[in-house]
Copies of this chain bind each other. A is one copy, B any other.
Amino acid sequence: MAQSFEQLLELVNKQIAGLPAFQRAPLRLYEPAVYTMALGGKRIRPVLALMASQLFGGSAQATLGPAIGLEVFHNFTLLHDDVMDHADMRRGQPTVHAKWDTNTAILTGDAMFAVAVRLMIGAPAGSLRAVMQAFEALAVGVCEGQQYDMNFETQADVSMAEYMEMIRLKTAVLIAGALQIGALAAGAPAGSVAHLHAFGTQIGLAFQLQDDLLDLYGDEAKFGKKIGSDIRENKKTYLYLKALELLPAEDAAALKTAFATPTQPDKEAEKVAFVKSLYDRIGVKRHVEAAIQAMFKEGEAHLNAIPQSEIVPEAMEILKQFTARLLMREY
């Protein structure tokens, strides 16, 4: 009865390919939306929403609108983030503001947000208010997270707690919200929705830590981004903050100095190698992997706290396997 990851992904991709909201005039507004949605991405959020829904016996059909809405919303945030971060490439392709212009990225993004609202309204009648509330809460959270992320660029000292709160808002609330919305659409009991949300928060945090890790230790071809970009851009990631914590004072000071000055284009490789040597000195990779494992464990405890009587066991297996695989990705 429960659908596999592959089946759900196919359902999501089919739905996205034919989305009527973007098949209309003005072309200049909607063409970049179609372009962005077709660039791919792992469709993690809609798949998680559908998995959460079938966990409680909900039909994919009843959850499909909100699920796709989450993906449209996620892509809207990418459009605007790429403008704010001056990022010209994503998923190996030019971003919307690079391919068209900034105004297009702003306005098409706004239209995608509006379309995401439309898709959210597709939630079943009984859960509409709860789904909409979950959606607006995650939308506000994502904006707050992006603001903290930008603040950190000019903030001399960022604590580990501040960093974790930032990635919770910027990344985890959307992952957690996807699971929450799927469960709500299926009419799951409030206690179990809360457990699933808490599971999603841990998965989301772990997912971001892994992203931080892969930025330096990943496979460039598979990751789709240039290795070491966080170091080149002086981004205060988990790796950086953990190294500051654990390095001897002198090395920590050297790391801080390296991050306090803009990277010279001809010294990029040198800087990445230097910082990596500091990270390696404390074995940062093991520390991040341990943190990811701890989060995964905490998340799983929430998952296991959901009463067996409420769930479809097969769907639980599918969800567990998918999230485990998500956190084992090497690219």
Q: Which A residues form the contact surface with B (CB < 8 A)?
A: 21, 25-26, 28-29, 77, 80, 83-84, 103, 106-107, 109-111, 113-115, 117-118, 121, 125, 128-129, 132-133, 135-137, 139-140, 143-144, 146-148, 150-151
Contacts and interface: CB of A to CB of B under 8 A. Distances in A.
Contacts of A132: 117, 121, 128, 132
B80 A147 contact: no
B80 A106 contact: yes
A12 to B, nearest CB: 21
B111 A113 contact: no
Given A106-B83, A147-B26, A147-B28, A139 B114 contact: yes
Q: Which 8 A-B pairs have the closest CB atoms?
A: A114-B139, A111-B143, A29-B147, A118-B136, A117-B136, A84-B103, A26-B147, A114-B140
A63 B107 CA distance: 29
A103 B150 contact: yes
Contact of A140 (B25, B84, B118, B135): B118
Contacts of A139: 113-114, 117
Contacts of A151: 26, 28
A144 B29 contact: yes
A239 to B, nearest CB: 24
6 contacts: A80-B107, A80-B110, A110-B143, A117-B135, A118-B133, A121-B132
A53 to B, nearest CB: 19
How many copies, total? 2
Nearest to A133: B121
A107 B143 contact: yes
Given A117-B117, A117-B135, A106 B128 contact: no
B128 A114 contact: no
Contacts of A25: 144
Contacts of A118: 133, 136-137, 140
Contacts of A140: 21, 111, 114-115, 118
Contacts of A146: 107
A25 B26 CA distance: 37
Nearest to A84: B103
Given A80-B107, A80-B110, A143-B110, A26 B117 contact: no
Contacts of A29: 143-144, 147
A154 to B, nearest CB: 10
A132 B116 CA distance: 12
Given A28-B151, A118-B136, A84 B113 contact: no
Given A117-B132, A121-B132, 6 more contacts: A28-B147, A29-B144, A84-B106, A103-B150, A114-B139, A118-B133
Nearest to A139: B114
Contacts of A77: 110
A111 B142 CA distance: 9
A114 B142 CA distance: 10
A121 B111 contact: no
Contacts of A80: 106-107, 110
